[in-house]
Each structure stands twice: as structure tokens, then as C-alpha cells.
Structure 1
């Protein structure tokens, strides 16, 4: 029984993998990471599943990493920080490598890790009124473990436009960056996702899995070495004075020192 996600599979083999932590704007806690990781494994092995739709309950798709989880890392030792960075990285890798098509239904805002979730989708379709952003630098952190997937999606040149500014951008820019395949009105989002899903239902499931594996084999930009680099980078970021200052400022409801003047 899951606590932070829902999984529904229909008669056609379309699985809905739904973020269900509405009260926290679907921010990813350690529990959610573990449940998403296991879901990717289980859905990948389920021969009845033809395609997976990654969606979310509530007004927000995903607000990023859970701030309480981040706060815990500030008081943790290096080994614990590395383990928690690995937890997030392995969840993203499991979704990315899942041998089923993964379609993102991005109906609401997606920040930080939410952009990472969109980036591991084979096709992400967004509502035209949403905002996205790699906001980690506002907390003195960096988009580390999501980095291999975000940069694989955008390319380094486009990543430079949004990777270290912390600014939010709209769906039109997200399409231009390559994060979203297309944007549609909120009213048409479900129909557009359904059209995307339909194309996979006429394809041979084994061939789809092999073709997806080939993309990974030929791409290589989100390979194991890149993932390991990202894990170390996130653990390093948690150990900085800036991260401690920014996260303390958030919980004490004050501006961090670089905004205080």
C-alpha cells in the first residue's frame, strides 16, 4: 500500500502513476522517492502494462524536493548526505530506464525535482498556464541529481539559460528549451495525453522497450558516471554555508543574507 503515490492500470494496459502528496504540493519526500522507485521497477516488469502516464493530484505537479527532507541533510554526516542524494538519483534513473514509455502529464507548476521528473519522461506535455524552474540555487543548492536528465533534454547551451539563475519560466519557453514536447490548454491536456498514449498501443511492446533501450545506449549523457557525479555534487551542496543559510531563512521566514540588503 503506497502513501504518497497512486497507481491505476486500465484494461488497455495504460498505467497512471500519480503523485498524491497534495498537502505538500507533491514535494518529494524520502518516502515518495522510495515509492516512485519501486513503482518504476514494478511497472517495468508488469507485462500487462503498455505505457505509463506520470501525473499528479492537486493544483501543483511537483514543487521539487521536500524542504523538511532537505533540512535534515543540513545536520547529517557526509555518508548520510551521499545516501540521500543516491536515493533521489536512483529513483530518477529507475524512471528514466523503465522499459515502458513514460508520458508526463504536467498540469501544474513544476520546480526543481519536478523539472527532473518531467525530464525523465519520454514525452512531457504541459498545460499552457504552468510555470517551471530550476530553483535550487535560491536555497544555496544546485540541480545536481536531476542534472544528467535535464541537460540531456535541453543540451548544455540551453541549460545555461535556466540552470543557475533560479528563475521561473512559462510553458512556451519550456517547449523551446525541450523540457516539454508541446503545450496545450488545460481543457485539452487529457485529450492530448490520450493521443500520445494511443500511438504506443499499436506498437509491439517488446520493440518499444528495445527501442527505448537503444536510445539510452546511443545517447550516454545520463550514464552511470554522470549520475555518480551528480550524487557527489548534491552532497557537496548540502555541506555549504549558503545552503545552511538559505534553508534556515526559509524555515524562520526571513530573507537569506544575500537578499537582506
Structure 2
């Protein structure tokens, strides 16, 4: 359905297009979008002819991170409820990272918080020249532990230490410089450049691509084991129910500075 939070289709070449579809909130993710990503991967993963996935955001922005109104609602639940939320989010990014086919992200406008983890989990990232990025969780009393492995792979620990601690915004050219995106193109050329990348990928052997990706991840931060993922999920879930998170999310809802911010 066109109003579903995640849309997908598969063309005759085996190229799937997955579209994040909550433009009214800048594609901020909530439980329904996370489940939609899982469903898309389940459905597309069952297609024998799948060769490439193209990931897009509908509207002006690619993905604005978590829907903080939804996050604030989730934090009021039990610790077990919060663990379910963190696990669903973490495993969506982890599954995207480990898909046995190449994933190409086309990024326009805002890409914040969890959105940076999503693009870090993709194999090729093309950004429009109007793209804007930030790893914002600490601003709201949260942390981004569940996407640090993918971010460390994409931009290196040194850059993660800066941008995950400051929460500052940076543009497309800086994202290219640090390795978060591969290319920056005019917004009008974004789809066409993505198509050229897809065409190049389709020239390559599917089995060799899958093995190449597997072996790359086995020697990367993103190739971590299940206990490591569990520990990241637990920490992510626990932080959401702290007093810091309560204050940070209240500051967002009330459009004010958090009380830990100097006047």
C-alpha cells in the first residue's frame, strides 16, 4: 500500500527498490517502519533472482533518525518492552549490513541519528549535494551503541568519536571526506547516478559478490558475533529509561534546551 511506512518492488533485472515512506515526519523511524524494513528483507530475501537493493527515502529527506515521540512512549514501558524495541532496531540495521547482495543508498536532505547507521550498513552510498548528517542521540540523553559497529566500519573510530560525541551536523562533502558517503552529486542527478552504480553491480557474478561481502565483514567491526550484539542492545535499551533520557526527550518535546546545557 502506498501509505505503508516501507515500500518495495522488484524489477525484471532483480533490482529491488526499498523506500522509507513517512515523509510527513521526514521518514523518522518508529516501530511500524522498523517492522516494515524487516518485512521487506524477509520478502525480498525469498526472491531467488534478487541481485541488488536500492534504498531511498520518500520526500525531501532520507531519514531523520528515531521518531522521538515514539521513543518517549517506548521508554515508559517495562525494561523488557524497551529491550524488544532496541533489538528490533539493531537487528534491522544488522540484517541490512549482512544482506548477501549489494545495497545502494541514495541520500537527500536530512540523514540523522539512526539514518547514519542505515547508510553505514549499505555498500555504496551516493549523496545529493543538499544532504545533511549528524549522529544526534547524545543530545537527547540517548546513545547510538547499536550502530557503532557499522559507523566504525564506514568512517573509522576517530571520526565516530568526534561526531557521536558532539552531535554536530555536517554536510555532504564532509560526509564524503570522512567516508560516510562515496560520491556527492547534484540532487537532480541522484537517481541517474544510482542507476549507473546498479548497472556496474549487475555486471558482476552474484555468488562472487556475496562471498566478497561476507569476507569483508568477517574482518570488520560490523562482523561481530551474537553476544556482542546482545550487549549493545542491552545498553541501548537501558539508556532509554534513564533520567537523562527523560530530560532529553522532554527538552525535544518542549522545544527548549536540556537542563544539562549551560545557559
Unpaired runs of 5+ in structure 1? none
Alpha-carbon RMSD across the aligned residues, in angstroms, is: 1.6
Look up the match of 1:149. Answer: 150
Normalised by the size of structure 2, how large is the TM-score? 0.94
Q: 1:185-224 alignment to 2 at 5 Å? A: 185-224=186-225
Do the aligned residues in 2 keep the contact of 1:99 with 1:213 (CA within 8 Å)?
yes
Do the aligned residues in 2 keep the contact of 1:5 with 1:17 (CA within 8 Å)?
yes
Do the aligned residues in 2 keep the contact of 1:37 with 1:95 (CA within 8 Å)?
no
Look up the match of 2:26. Answer: 25
How many residue pairs match? The answer is 261
The offset of 1:23, in angstroms, is 0.9
Comparing 75-84 with 56-65, which one deviates more in the overlay? 75-84
The offset of 1:199, in angstroms, is 1.0
Instruction: Find the partner of 1:249 among 227, 248, 251.
Output: 251
Look up the match of 2:232. Answer: 230
Do the aligned residues in 1 keep the contact of 2:152 with 2:221 (CA within 8 Å)?
no
Q: Distance in 2 between matches of 1:137 and 1:104?
A: 25
Unpaired runs of 5+ in structure 2? none
Q: 1:3-22 alignment to 2 at 5 Å? A: 3-22=4-23
Cα 1:165–1:177 shift into 2, 3 Å: same
Do the aligned residues in 2 keep the contact of 1:33 with 1:87 (CA within 8 Å)?
yes
Look up the match of 1:137. Answer: 138
1:80 aligns with 2:94: no
- Cα deviation, 1:201-226, whole Å, max 9, x if unaligned, reads 11121221122112122325441343
Look up the match of 1:123. Answer: 124
Look up the match of 1:180. Answer: 181
The offset of 1:68, in angstroms, is 2.2
Q: Distance in 1 between matches of 2:133 and 2:23?
A: 18
- Which aligned runs of 4 or more in structure 1 are off by greater than 3 angstroms? none
The offset of 1:73, in angstroms, is 2.7
Comparing 121-130 with 232-241, which one deviates more in the overlay? 232-241
2:166 aligned counterpart, secondary structure: coil
Instruction: Find the partner of 1:258 among 243, 257, 260.
Output: 260
Do the aligned residues in 2 keep the contact of 1:33 with 1:88 (CA within 8 Å)?
yes
Q: 1:29-48 alignment to 2 at 5 Å? A: 29-48=30-49
Do the aligned residues in 2 keep the contact of 1:154 with 1:177 (CA within 8 Å)?
yes
Cα 1:226–1:154 shift into 2, 3 Å: farther
Normalised by the size of structure 1, how large is the TM-score? 0.94
Q: Distance in 1 between matches of 2:222 and 2:215?
A: 13
The offset of 1:260, in angstroms, is 6.5
